[in-house]
């Protein structure tokens, strides 16, 4: 292969799609935390030691865009937002746990 050749990425590869959805700062930790049930933004910031509002916000938005998390506004007093796994996210739990086992 010469230096001018471009390697084409196989966009239909499920493993590549999974890695893209969960790669990035804080995404794996947020995904793991979301398996415990709905979570508030402030809970995430407290749980993710060393994180900041901006990086957690970006990770949450990207997980929403990939369809793994949903965002709900809870109108109880005080008004708050909760994030939880979607059906697509729940379907990925066994895959994520398999990846964890491979790294042990």
Question: The pTM is what?
Answer: 0.79
pLDDT band at 96 (very low <50, low <70, confident <90, very high): confident
Q: What CATH class does 25-103 carry?
A: mainly alpha
In angstroms, the CA 104 to CA 88 distance is 25
Residues 60 and 13: their CA atoms lie apart, in Å, by 24
What is 93-104 written as a DSSP string? HHHHHHHHHHH-
Residues contacting 59, CB < 8 A, separation 6+: 24, 25, 26, 27, 30
> Mind listing the pLDDT tens digit for each residue in 47-76?
999 999 999 999 999 999 999 999 999 888
Domain boundaries, the chain: 25-103
């Amino acid at each position: 292969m010469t230096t001018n050749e471009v390697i084409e990425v196989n966009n239909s590869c499920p493993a590549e799609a999974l890695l893209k959805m969960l790669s990035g700062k804080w995404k794996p930790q947020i995904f793991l935390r979301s398996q415990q049930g709905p979570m508030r933004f402030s809970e995430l910031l407290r749980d993710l030691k060393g994180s900041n509002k901006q990086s957690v916000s970006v990770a949450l938005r990207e997980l929403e865009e990939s369809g793994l998390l949903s965002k709900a506004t809870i109108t109880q007093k005080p008004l708050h937002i909760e994030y939880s796994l979607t059906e697509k996210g729940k379907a990925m739990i066994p895959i994520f746990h398999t990846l964890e086992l491979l790294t042990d």
